[in-house]
């Protein structure tokens, strides 16, 4: 891993229960900023704090470090169904057994994935369905911090609305969201410009 000049001298904070959107063109440093939290980009100086505590190095114990990450590209097990993906992630995130089923179906219903729930990923051709599943896996379990890289890429207006409804519900439960996007319509929803106008904080 090497230090990326795109994220040099980067300083920002995100109030608990809010959304900060990093807005700009491709290769502008948005994804690299998110990668700092996954430690895919080497942190050569400074520190990253979550809830006032220094973020540990991965691999994370997701039952104690509550972070959800939606990459810019979808990554799944081709032989597993939508339901199985969400259930496995629920177990990894330490969601207690009695409420796993409720949590899984909450994501499936919230993102309108019911008709795909028992279908293997290899048999799902619609990229929008896979995108919504990626977002669902990230927000599952109400993480303290959710990192979203182009979460509504390829979605139609109905799909974007479903994603935003889920995100607003998270904000109501005091999750914090850091999102990268080059879609201004995402960033401008109830936006409050700050800094050099590439950073916008979205309120619930």
> Quick check: 84 and 116 in contact, CB under 8 A?
no
**CA–CA separation, 180 and 24 (whole Å):** 8
pLDDT at 141: 92
Read off the pLDDT of residues 101-144 as tens digits, 9 standing for 90 and up.
999 999 999 999 999 999 999 999 999 999 999 999 999 999 98
pLDDT at 13: 79
Give residue limits of the domains in the chain: 59-177
**CA–CA separation, 88 and 136 (whole Å):** 13
Q: What is the pTM for the complete model shown?
A: 0.85
Nearest CA-CA partner of 179 in 8, 12, 56, 3:
12
**CA–CA separation, 100 and 81 (whole Å):** 16
Give the CATH number of domain 59-177; options: 3.40.50.2000, 3.90.190.20, 3.30.565.10, 3.40.50.300: 3.40.50.300
> Quick check: 173 and 146 in contact, CB under 8 A?
no
Phi, psi dihedrals of residue 169, rounded to the nearest 5°: -65, -40
pLDDT lower than 70: segments of the chain: 1-8, 24-25, 27-28, 38-44, 56-65, 186-204
């Amino acid at each position: 891993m090497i230090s990326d000049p795109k994220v040099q001298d980067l300083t920002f904070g995100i109030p608990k229960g809010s959304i900060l959107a990093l807005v700009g063109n491709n290769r502008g440093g948005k994804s690299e900023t998110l990668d700092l939290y996954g430690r895919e980009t080497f942190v050569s100086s400074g520190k990253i704090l979550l809830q006032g505590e220094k973020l540990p190095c991965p691999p994370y114990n997701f039952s104690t470090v509550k972070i959800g990450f939606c990459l810019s590209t979808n990554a799944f097990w081709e032989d597993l169904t939508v339901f199985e993906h969400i259930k496995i992630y629920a177990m990894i995130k330490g969601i207690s057994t009695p409420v796993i089923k409720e949590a899984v179906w909450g994501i499936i219903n919230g993102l309108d994935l019911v008709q795909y729930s028992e279908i293997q990923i290899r048999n799902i051709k619609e990229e929008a369905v896979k995108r919504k599943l990626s977002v669902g896996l990230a927000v599952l379990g109400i993480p303290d911090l959710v990192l979203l890289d182009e979460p509504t890429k390829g979605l139609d207006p109905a799909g974007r609305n479903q994603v935003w409804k889920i995100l607003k519900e998270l904000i109501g439960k005091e999750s914090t969201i850091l999102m990268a996007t080059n879609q201004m319509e995402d960033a401008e929803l109830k936006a409050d410009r700050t800094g050099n106008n590439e950073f916008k904080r979205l309120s619930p």
